[in-house]
């Protein structure tokens, strides 16, 4: 049976998750890409190299992130959070958020560290999606 | 190292996949939802109950489907196919496509069969996303 999730359950699923599918709009059409993220209860925190999604979100900051736990075709839950893209540029805030991301994804550390020390490598972008609403559905 | 996939490799990833994240646009914002699908080399075939994604795609048929294989943070591939939503209404074509979907997802059979025989239950919608282009990236 498919049922709607309460907002707090959708938030809890977002908090448990680590891989989400980020949706944004490019030239009035949809674009979806997987991202590793941390949800701090308020915002989805992501770091990324420059590229298609960053260009898209700079042009149109409306974003969503969809997270699911799929056991099989008839047992799954999926939550979606809607929000607005905000790039974090303040150096202290960048460091603090990157720290939170690296705590969750320690394997990122060597690459990020290495990259931050190599000139000419594009700088990692830290952004947040400030969550404005979240919903979910589940089948059990 | 992150590299772009050839279109044929993106197509092959779509063909192997069974769960994708369908992206569409609602009120100029993104919407993403997981779907089970079959890719026949030409179109993504999906069946669905009426709901938010169907309403969205009827209003704006631009769609994408993102499929990935994630081993861990540094070994993954992700493909995205772009296309146009087309609802299949011809009864013979519906039967034929539903058959293809059920061959891939045999567990759907009892529910779909039961539902199709119960009056008052909303009819299953069969739709295709005719793939116009596909791209992908992978990290290995």
B85 assigned to some structural domain: yes
Mind listing the pLDDT tens digit for each residue in B8-48? Answer: 999 999 999 999 999 999 999 999 999 999 999 999 999 99
User: B-side interface with A, Cβ within 8 Å?
Assistant: 2, 19, 21, 23-25, 28-34, 36, 49, 62-66, 68, 70, 72-74, 76, 78, 80, 82, 105, 107-108, 111
The residues facing A33 across adjacent strands are A22
What is the domain range of residue A15? 2-139
Is B30 in contact with A31 (Cβ distance < 8 A)?
yes
- pTM of the predicted structure, to 2 decimals: 0.90
Burial readout A2-18 (b: 16 or more C-beta within 10 A, e: otherwise): eeebeeebbbbbbeebe
Q: Give the residue among B66, B72, B65 at the shortest CA–CA distance from B139.
A: B72
- Number of A to B CB contacts under 8 A, please give it: 88
What is the per-residue pLDDT for A2?
84
Is A73 in contact with B30 (Cβ distance < 8 A)?
no
What is the per-residue pLDDT for A62?
98
Residue B78 has pLDDT above 90, yes or no: yes
B116 assigned to some structural domain: no
Is B29 in contact with A25 (Cβ distance < 8 A)?
yes
What is the per-residue pLDDT for B107?
73
Q: What is the CATH number of the domain that holds A39?
A: 2.30.110.10
Mind listing the pLDDT tens digit for each residue in A58-105? Answer: 999 999 999 999 888 788 999 999 999 999 999 899 989 988 998 888
Is B34 in contact with A78 (Cβ distance < 8 A)?
yes
B114 assigned to some structural domain: no
B115 assigned to some structural domain: no
B71 assigned to some structural domain: yes
Mind listing the pLDDT tens digit for each residue in A5-46? Answer: 999 999 999 999 999 999 999 999 999 999 999 999 999 999
B76 assigned to some structural domain: yes
Interval B88-97 mean pLDDT: 92
Interval A45-65 mean pLDDT: 94
Of all helices (H) and strands (E), which one includes residue B39?
strand B38-39
Total domain count, chain A: 1
Q: Above 0.95 for ipTM, yes or no?
A: no
What is the per-residue pLDDT for A106?
80
């Amino acid at each position: 049976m498919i049922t709607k999730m309460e907002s707090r359950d959708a938030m809890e699923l977002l908090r448990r998750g680590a891989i989400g599918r980020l949706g944004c709009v490019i030239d009035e059409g949809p674009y979806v890409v997987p991202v590793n993220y941390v949800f701090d209860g308020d915002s989805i925190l992501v770091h990324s190299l420059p590229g298609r999604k960053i260009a898209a979100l700079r042009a149109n900051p409306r974003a969503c992130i969809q997270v699911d736990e799929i056991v099989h075709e008839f047992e799954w839950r999926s939550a979606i959070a809607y929000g607005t893209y905000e790039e974090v540029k303040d150096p202290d805030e960048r460091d603090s958020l990157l720290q939170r991301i690296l705590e969750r994804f320690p394997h990122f550390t060597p690459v990020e560290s290495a990259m931050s020390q190599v000139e000419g490598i594009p700088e990692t972008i830290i952004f947040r999606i400030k969550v404005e609403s979240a919903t979910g559905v589940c089948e059990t």
